[in-house]
Amino acid sequence: MAIFRASEVHQMSDSELTEQLSKLRLELMQKRAKVSTGGSTEDPGRIRELRRTIARILTEQRSRKQG
C-alpha cells in the first residue's frame, strides 16, 4: 500500500478516499496486532506513516464537508 502525500490526497475523489481509508486502517490494524502478539515488524516506521496518511485522508474529508 502506498503512502499518499497531501497533494495526492487532495486530487482523489470522495469514493477513492473512502476506499483507501479502509485499506489503510486494515493494514494498520494488522501491523498493530502483529506487534502486540510479540512479533517484530520488518519496517517499524510503517505504522507511523500509516497513521499520518490516515490523518491526511480524514483531514481532507472533513475539509470537503465544510466547504
End-to-end CA distance of the chain: 29
The answer to whether 24 touches 47, Cβ cutoff 8 Å, is no
Q: Mean pLDDT across the stretch 6-14?
A: 94
Q: Mean pLDDT across the stretch 13-18?
A: 96
pLDDT band of 1, cuts 50, 70, 90: low
Q: What is the pTM of this model?
A: 0.89
Q: For 17-56, what is each residue's pLDDT tens digit?
A: 999 999 999 999 999 999 888 887 778 899 999 999 999 9
The answer to whether 47 touches 28, Cβ cutoff 8 Å, is yes
Q: Mean pLDDT across the stretch 7-21?
A: 95
What is the C-alpha to C-alpha distance for residues 27 and 2, in angstroms, rounded to an integer? 11
Pick the CATH number of 6-66 from 1.10.287.310, 3.20.20.70, 2.60.40.3470, 3.30.2310.20: 1.10.287.310
